[in-house]
Structure 1
Amino acid sequence: MKKNGEKRIKAEKPRKKISFAALIAVVMSALSFVIIAAMASVLSSSFGDLLSRSAITGVESAAEQIALSVQRQIDETIETLDILKRKLKTDAAALDVAANSALELDRNINAIIVYDEGGNILRYWSKRELKSAYSKNLSDYRAQAEEDEYYFSPIHVQNIFAGGFPWVFTACSSVSDSVYGKVCFSADLTMLAVSEAVDNARIGDRGYCYITDVSGGNVYHPRRKLIASGAKTEETVPLNEEGVIYRGDMAYTVSLLDKTQWRLVTVSYPRELLSVYSQQKFILIALVCGTAVFASWGIAMVLSERLSVSIKGLSKEMAAFEKDIYGYRYQPEKSSIKEVSGLSESFGVNVKVVQDLLREVETKQRELHESHLEILRNQINPHFLYNTLDSIVWMCKMGKADEAAEMTSALAKLFRVGISRGKKLILVAKEAEHAESYLKIQSMRFKSKFDYTMDISPEALACRCNKIILQPFIENSIKHGIIEGEKLHISVKGRVSEKDLILTVADDGCGMSAEKLEKIRAGNCETMGIGIKNVDLRIKMCFGEEYGVSVDSVEDEGTTITLRLPRTTEEKQE
């Protein structure tokens, strides 16, 4: 209960606090917006004159590119015709081969014709048959032909070949010293590439281009059907003036096409291009302003963080150290605050101490691991050497000196891999060579008791694996798989998947019971020797627990050993 005369004191609400970093970010952002607005205004006014100049430059540039494309197609066709003219002067048979090749390879060439002085066709090359009769040869431009020059006709209908009336140009030249005497060399050209370059020209939404001869006659026009029907007329422009010619809202650019005396006329609409450039202007200004906004915001955030980040930065360094203990490097911060500087230096000292201790432990573990692997490798070599030398001694006693020498040579080749030093992993190709040497030695010991095949893919041969991992399983197949009176077959295969290398040693021998197979898989069976256990342990110690050896067997059917390793081509030094 409140006593009389007492006043209720209202609790004052705590004020909302704003960090110094946030305050700096807000001020910097506001200042950036003011600067960017001023910049946008200046850019918008300066771009006016630039856009007008850009529209003119754009028209000239577009015309130049189209002219270059058309000229390139014309030059390539002229080069082909020059080759044929040279053949016409020297060798009729070579001309025939070259002309047929030109028809097949140059899609601009429709037909090639050689006329005599009277206009008679001496030779022709075309994919269509020559008509037996026609009123007038529309492709005959002998009157305009000159020595060492080509005359290019206006577009016209080809009417002397059966099967259609295509639109073509005729290019002709007089040849006085051909194998047929003085002739007119002529070619009807579809100029598909030229027409495509003209038809596909894009100059704004309404722009286009066309080709005329020196007198203004129509050579090729993408709208020729409309012009022929009278539905469209084309403005007459001076053809001897190169550059941009303005007529109303249209701009004409005249370009001379070399070697043909043709003119490429490009028609464009500057206002349309100006509209496009205006859109580009606004996009550019928007990009500049947007970039400036993000840049200013980033600068503001960086500045604010730099002013309030000393302890926060040290906390992040500790988290980074926890994630990458070995690769982490720390440079103590030079802070004007004594406590922060001392804490930073202490953290740096602790980082170095922890890293040194961990490296020392890792080094000792690695040395122990290498010692264990070396012991396992040395377990295998004496075991096999005893059996092989025993066979060589037996051959010597039996007077089989040549076979003993061959087996000794194979043994020397075999042990080049076994006693090699310097590399933990060897090429599968070397391991396969080692295994085949062993099979050769054993096939001499056990004549007619087994045969073998090796099928290892080139991709598998290029991979790397541990030393002597196939031979122990081949030895087990020979020792435990041979059935009296039957011939054993041993198959060694190798393949790769996306990430793994799979090697198998399989035989069709006596196999083993399910009970014995379970003991081997559990590592409790010693009757198969130390091979399976040792190879499996070596693979696991080198690559990890997910790799190793697996055994499958069916009694009276055979046994398959599968070795799974990572697919790698990298060397590892001992």
Structure 2
Amino acid sequence: MKNDSGIRKTFAKFNIQSIILSVLMTLSLVTVTVMGFLLYHRFKLASDKSAVANTEMTVESTIDRLNSSLLDLRQISDAANYNIVQEYDISSQEFTRQFSMLYETNVDKIQSLALYGYDGMLIESEPVATVKDNVKVAEQKWYQDARSEIENIHFSTPHVQNLFDDGTFRYHRVVSLSRSVDINDGSTSGSGVLLVDMKYSVLEDMLERINETSSGIYYYLCSRDGEIIYHPRWTEINRGLFKEKNNKAASYEDGIYEMKTDGQKENIVVGSVAYTGWKLIGVVPESVQETSINKFRYYIITTILILVMMLLQVNRFISRKISRPIRELDESVKAYEAGAMPDIYIGGSAEIRHLGYSVQKSYEQIEALMKEIIQQQTERRKSELDALQSQINPHFLYNTLESITWMIEAQRNKEAVVMISELAKLLRVSLSRGKTIISIGDELQHSRSYMNIQRVRYKERFKVEFLIDEEIKNYCIVKLVIQPLLENAIYYGVGNMDEDDDGQILIRGEKKGEDIYISIEDNGMGMPEDIRSNILTDNSKVPKHGSGVGVINVHSRISLMFGPEYGLEVYSELDEGTKVVIHIPAIPYTKENAEQLEKQTYGQRRMPDEEE
């Protein structure tokens, strides 16, 4: 039960599309992995067979070339025997000439050509050279083989030929072919041994070429007794750095075998060379097969990754298709919860359609109740806003009228006319036919009129500057929120400064993102930190003066109209000045928006009966 509960909690963290996609991807991964494993295993078997088959073909073709080279050597021996030794007297000049000509014709294949008597004495040789001292020809194996079996041709294993002193002090590695021959010396006939030394390099070059192109597979040549004739790693073998099971391999008949060397499995292909009984052995180490398999493994992995990416896209499409009705219903419910008024999605299977109908009906009932509650709250908030706005004290109006009366009595009629004109503009905005929401442009006009009157009253002891972006003038604002802040800036800031103190009030307005910021900044006395920190929360600790409309009033009116995230921000330092920032949302000023803000319905979703 605990495991089932844990599984349910885990799946609860994912949406239905993710769950469907996870199941499909799990099935796909298992299928692709099994297929990849089977394909890899199949390739491994095929790779092993292919490597061995290619080695077998190489061994066969190389044996053919070796047989051809040994056949050439035998034909040279036959030509020397039948066409020269048996045709000419060994003491004649023609014999010497023919013997030399045969050597010159085949100098690329043979190292030397020599004829010995049965007593081991040299009769003729090419190239012409002196027999080395202390060389006992009759004791050498090739000579003894020819004497003991006169009817056969004998091939030796590669050895160093050290018979002649040619002045170069070089030792030549050769393969010797020897045979017993009949010779004519004038009227006397006898027998001797014909020696043809083939250059070992002929065999070496042939085997080196196939080893250079074998990619890890190597080939070596040994006698039927296991004596190594050629090996690509001969130097390492001599130094004891590498071991070869040549004796065991030489005991096999032609074919394919499996052996283990130093714990590593390897396949060997054995083939026999004609005339000699030599064995050409091709070795396929396990590491070579693994290299090929590793390359294919990377190919398989890459293919699987590409296939998984393709399956991911296909599975994503399938999961999206299956889960779309549920997601549509979920999105419509979320949009409804977020404040929109979309139609609840009704589609898909019968179960999902029934669920959609049920949700739609429930929301209609909830909306009816919400409409009633909102209407009650709107009436209550409007009453609070009206009560706050009614706090404006007519003290400023009385003072202004007294100033106008004084100007008229003092015959300062032009100044009185200006004061009356500015007062008329101010009252026009203040009354606004009972409206609470006006444009920022009208609110700024009201503020300019107010400051023009105050500057006359204060005999222009301070300067006023408006730096307002034109684009914000057609946005909504609560009426009479700038003027009280300007009044505070005069009474608590620059109003008591001398003309020489350069008192200044700066009004800025700009739009940032989806909000509007209007700041009123003065360079007056500022305020202590204890007053600044309480000015928006505790009106009892803030000294009253002027109109009686404190910053708490303005802050409350803005928050009630636009929401608690909007209102005032106050920055001040004693003897440095004060800056108050009005923060409101950027709502274009239209008749419809103003009416909705007045009714406190702006941004709320419309009821079904309103839509109809």
So what's the TM-score if we normalise by structure 2? 0.39
So what's the TM-score if we normalise by structure 1? 0.41
User: Which has the larger Rg?
Assistant: 2
